[in-house]
Amino acid sequence: MSKRKKNIKLSQVFLKDKNIIEKIVNSIDVKRDEVIVEIGGGEGAITFPLLEKEARLIVFEKDEILREKLIETSVKKHFHDRILILGDFLKFEFDYFHNLYGLEKIKLVGNLPYHITGMILRRIIEEYGRIDSAYLMVQKEVAERLIARPSTKQYGALTVLTHALFDVKILFDIKPGSFYPIPKVTSSFVKLTPKKVPPEIKGHFREFEQIVKKAFSSRRKKLKNTLSGYLNITGTEYENRRAEELTIEDYLSILKFKL
């Protein structure tokens, strides 16, 4: 199987619409010499316009052939001194960014491959304290989950965990025809901005995450059952409620029973 066929199979699509590319880059508000981390450089559709804005880039691209092309093009365009091209974003420790550039917080941008969108979002959530902002292209279905409200089908663990830490805004949608190969779904460009972290979560995010994930593990069951063995909420106002009915504030209140 060729590299390109493999990329298609793994749901990797490439942005080609110049108007959308310009809209994305303008949305990011690039500052001169600002260090930006790009997830999934692909063929450089966003990479090189960011470099033309005089940003400095750390670009992650897992595919070896695409990585080589990015290096070759950056040399031809004389951007090689402003770009560092690395491999798999999911395998890098965030301390690397601090050790390399002294970055306490990073600005992220990326066209996320569909098949690992969830893993990348979970990594961003885990590292929320080190995120300045994140501009991400995701499936519209995922974007709608990120902004979903309680008691809706889209509302789930990802919604609660993301909204506990970030303000989420859908900046605009992107039609399938803006990519090649043309995907079957519409995409959305979203911005994640860190919130002031609730004091209940500071130092206890793992416990909060466990409560939320266990609650949604069987979303139609009552919480006294889904949380059984991990947290006893019998006799509280939450015991007969279901995961999808609770607000983020409710989950923060439940966290207090664990602390």
CA distance 24 to 35: 17
- Residue 245 main-chain phi, psi, to 5 deg: -90, -15
Residues 218 and 145 placed together within one structural domain of the fold = no
Q: Does residue 59 sit in the same domain as residue 158? A: yes
Q: Which long-range contacts (CB under 8 A, 24 or more apart) does 22-28 make?
A: 22/49, 23/172, 23/189, 24/109, 24/135, 24/137, 24/189, 25/49, 25/50, 25/53, 27/135, 27/171, 27/189, 27/191, 28/107, 28/109, 28/135
For the chain, which residues score pLDDT lower than 70? 1-11
Tell me: do 127 and 226 sit in the same domain. Answer: no
Same domain, yes or no: 160 and 217: no
From the list 16, 46, 13, the residue with the least C-alpha distance to 178 is 16
Longest alpha-carbon distance in the chain = 68
CATH of the domain at 139: 3.40.50.150
- The predicted pLDDT at position 8 comes to 42
Q: Are residues 168 and 76 in the same domain?
A: yes
Domain limits for position 108? 3-194
The tokens of 49 are what? 């316009």
- Assess whether 16 and 131 both reside in one domain: yes
Beta carbons within 8 Å of 199's beta carbon, 6+ residues apart: none
Q: Are residues 65 and 177 in the same domain?
A: yes
pLDDT at 176: 96
Is 199 within a domain?
no
Residue 7: predicted pLDDT:
44
Inter-residue contact 161 to 170 (CB < 8 Å): no
pTM above 0.85, yes or no: yes
- Number of independent structural domains in the chain: 2
Backbone torsions φ then ψ of 186, nearest 5 degrees? -80, 145
Residue 6, pLDDT score: 40
Q: Are residues 215 and 185 in the same domain?
A: no
Find tokens 């059984």 and name the residue.
228
Per-residue pLDDT tens over the stretch 72-125: 999 999 999 999 999 999 998 888 888 877 888 999 999 998 889 999 999 999
Tell me: do 174 and 215 sit in the same domain. no
Tell me: do 81 and 185 sit in the same domain.
yes
Residues 13 and 129 in one domain: yes
Asked if residue 93 and residue 10 are part of one domain, the reply reads yes
Q: What is the domain-level CATH number for residue 218?
A: 1.10.8.100
